[in-house]
Amino acid sequence: MIAIARVAATAVGGLMLAITAVLPAQATAKIQHLVTPGGISAWFVQDATVPVIAMQYAFAGGASQDPAGKPGVATLVASTLDEGAGDLDSSAFHERLDRRAIDLSFNATRDELRGSLRMLKDDRNEAFSLLRLALTAPRFEAADIERIRAQIMSGLRRETSDPGSLAGHKFMAAAFGNHPYGRPTSGTLESVPTITADDLRDYTRRVVAKDHLTIAVVGDIDAASLSKLLDDTFGALPAKGDLTPVADVTASSPPQSYFIPLDVPQTVVMFGGPGIKRDDPDFMAGYIVSHILGGGGLSSRLYHEVREKRGLAYSVVQYLSWMRHSALFLGNTATRADRANETVDTIKAEVKRMADGGPTQQELDEAKSYLKGSQMLALDTSVKLASALLQFQLDKLGIDYIEKRNAMVDAVTLDDARRVAKRLWGKGLITVVVGRPQQAAARPAAATAPKAD
């Protein structure tokens, strides 16, 4: 059951609130658009079910703001913001977090520097105070930078022998070339050693600002108390950032094929092509047909053809991926090296069949039913709900999106689905295969002579 309530925007003690509908799990809860006296905006759900507060927030920029030639700066910033701040060194800062079981973290995506904060209600002042220090006075001490740098470098070295990582990096480079989306967000073995503390400070200065800040909060706190905490935490940030413009880009057109030799037990196959951006009128139709093709688990066409019918792989998935400046459809699977070509051919044939004929009415109806129900079940915790509300804001979907979503799903017709399937998959695929060459994998191993006693 979903509770729906609407009131006009009202001012309460200097606090602007606009309330609309929301939650499946808490029938009496409502999303509030809160604007603090200091001008900080947030979507907020008050929920006293448990004495916990969860906040998700994002600053526009992400890895797309890495300096030219230095991919990995945003990732290193995200990994060191909580390594000491103000008069607290790394050890003291983490001791304060651990003492109250406060969960504070940051991560960098291609488009945003994101953060997460979760704490017990009684520890909210301490939690928000530590976040304020991390954002406004990070220390970026040399010893901490080198420790985190070593961890990132270790991960990058592991990626050189990980088929999934190699496939992903190659695919993004093929799809986006010299655009910032074509660079690895974690950096490279060549770039990460060159990043300096000044790079981290400059990135933070340009990105961590109020003009591109998005916030979502769910938990046991009232609007007035939250408003004060938000002003205290984010109010001292610069009013405006200094972002480098990032151009919109369309992914490179299929068909393209790449093979990366790697001696691993299973061959990884990654496939995809240009997708549909979140603000495109065709997005919902694309989302539904993508689910039918490869996102529906045991019910998807690719699963039926690749696993059930031919036994080529344990699983195969395909999905839409959207960013601020572009969009993709992506898929992946893993198979035996001697069956890699057959797997790729099967995927291509099924993608072409969907492009040529689209889904059936039954497939469309079943996908709609699943997608309407699964969205509600995905919002069953405060962290999940806060993450969803943050993403809805970043996607500019409107505070009443949950209320409208089922109608948007139902509005997709069979003609829409078939037209968009042709748009998505009519040109074929970009494929990246990582593993043993099929010819070598098909040869029997050389016999080994017995050892003499």
CA distance 324 to 181: 10
Report the CATH number of the 256-438 domain: 3.30.830.10
Over the stretch 158-216, which tens digit does the pLDDT of each residue have? 999 999 999 999 999 999 999 999 999 999 999 999 999 999 999 999 999 999 999 99
Residue 296: its pLDDT value, please? Answer: 72
Residue 446: its pLDDT value, please? Answer: 38
Mean pLDDT of 379-387: 91
Residue 439: its pLDDT value, please? Answer: 61
Over the stretch 287-342, which tens digit does the pLDDT of each residue have? 999 999 999 778 899 999 999 999 999 999 999 999 999 999 999 999 999 999 99
CA distance 434 to 163: 6
Helix (H) or strand (E) holding 362, with range, is helix 361-377
CA distance 119 to 315: 37
CA distance 168 to 299: 25
- Residue 18's pLDDT band, with cuts at 50, 70 and 90, is very low
Domain 10-234 class in CATH: alpha beta
Over the stretch 98-132, which tens digit does the pLDDT of each residue have? 999 999 999 999 999 999 999 999 999 999 999 99
Residue 374: its pLDDT value, please? Answer: 86
- Exposure on the CB side of residue 380, measured as CA atoms within 13 A: 6
Closest CA to 165 of 268, 275, 294: 268
Residue 93: its pLDDT value, please? Answer: 98
List the strands of the sheet with 10-12, edge to edge.
10-12, 15-20, 31-35, 41-46, 213-219, 52-60, 112-120, 103-108
Statement: residue 137 has pLDDT above 90: yes
DSSP codes of every residue in 372-403: HHHHHHTT-SHHHHHHHHHHHHHTT--TTHHH
The partner residues of 100 in beta bridges, in order of sequence, read none
The mean pLDDT of the chain is: 91
Over the stretch 407-445, which tens digit does the pLDDT of each residue have? 999 999 999 999 999 999 999 999 999 999 976 544 443
Helices marked H in 25-120 — which ranges? 73-80, 90-99
Over the stretch 25-77, which tens digit does the pLDDT of each residue have? 443 369 999 999 999 999 999 999 999 999 999 999 999 999 989 999 999 99
Kindly calculate the radius of gyration of the chain based on its CA atoms and give it in whole angstroms.
Answer: 24
CA distance 438 to 221: 59
Bridging pattern class, strands 256-261 and 430-435: parallel
Decide: 315 and 349 in contact? Cβ < 8 Å: no
The pTM assigned to this predicted structure is 0.89
Helix (H) or strand (E) holding 415, with range, is helix 414-425
Residue 340: its pLDDT value, please? Answer: 96
Helices marked H in 283-339 — which ranges? 283-290, 301-303
- Residue 357's pLDDT band, with cuts at 50, 70 and 90, is very high
Helix (H) or strand (E) holding 350, with range, is helix 340-357
The neighbour count for residue 314, using CB atoms within 10 Å, is 11
Mean pLDDT of 14-31: 48
Over the stretch 270-280, which tens digit does the pLDDT of each residue have? 999 999 999 99
Q: Do domains 10-234 and 256-438 have the same CATH topology?
A: yes
CA distance 444 to 128: 62
List the chain domain ranges.
10-234, 256-438
- Residue 15's pLDDT band, with cuts at 50, 70 and 90, is very low
- Exposure on the CB side of residue 135, measured as CA atoms within 13 A: 30
- Residue 375's pLDDT band, with cuts at 50, 70 and 90, is confident
The neighbour count for residue 440, using CB atoms within 10 Å, is 11
- Percentage, residues of the chain above pLDDT 70: 90
- Exposure on the CB side of residue 65, measured as CA atoms within 13 A: 27
Q: Which residues lie closer than 8 Å to 263 by C-beta, 6 or more apart?
A: 436
What residue type is assigned to position 326 of the chain?
S
Bridging pattern class, strands 52-60 and 213-219: antiparallel
Tokens of 242: 């200094």
CA distance 318 to 407: 24
CA distance 389 to 401: 10
DSSP codes of every residue in 111-130: SEEEEEEEEEGGGHHHHHHH
Q: Which residues lie closer than 8 Å to 391 by C-beta, 6 or more apart?
A: none
Residue 379: its pLDDT value, please? Answer: 84
SS3 content of the chain, % helix, strand, coil (to 5): 45, 20, 35
- Percentage, residues of the chain above pLDDT 90: 86
Residue 6: its pLDDT value, please? Answer: 27
Residue 377: its pLDDT value, please? Answer: 78
Statement: residue 21 has pLDDT above 60: no
Chain-centre distance for alpha carbon 40: 24
Helix H, strand E, coil C: the string for 45-63 is EECCCCCEEEEEEEEECHH
